[in-house]
Amino acid sequence: MAPLDYRFSSEVVQKIIDEATIYACGCPAQVCEQIVRLRQVHEYQCQCSATASELTAESHRLIAAATASAHALLEECLDRVLTAEGWDRTTYKMPPGLRQLQADEIARWRADGGT
């Protein structure tokens, strides 16, 4: 079974999760969390296929292929989201405009009594 092609390293994916979580911007983090999960599923299928019986080998192959397709699609999505939002591709820091937007939303929430 072929390994997954990574557009974003595991370190970059975690950096985006951390950065998005700090600034309470969950959408890029959600995409990254699903990428991590798909990588885990694919790795599991590869491990299982190494010892799979004839009866289950096709199942592992099908799951791994579907996982690889979903992974590629979500990495493409992440790439487009980072571009659309203007993330720094060197540091993978959230752009200042999004940070300010989050700060403004928190200030509004506090001004409304936290409701």
What per-residue confidence (pLDDT) applies to 54? 84
Residues 6+ apart with CB under 8 A from 69: none
- Can you give the pTM of this predicted structure? 0.81
Residue-wise pLDDT for 33-44, tens only, equals 999 999 999 999
What per-residue confidence (pLDDT) applies to 115? 66
Q: Which of 56, 67, 62 is nearest to 5 (CA)?
A: 67
CA torsion angle 57 62 63 66 (round to 10): 160
Helical H runs in the chain?
10-22, 26-50, 54-85, 96-111
For the chain, domain boundaries: 10-111
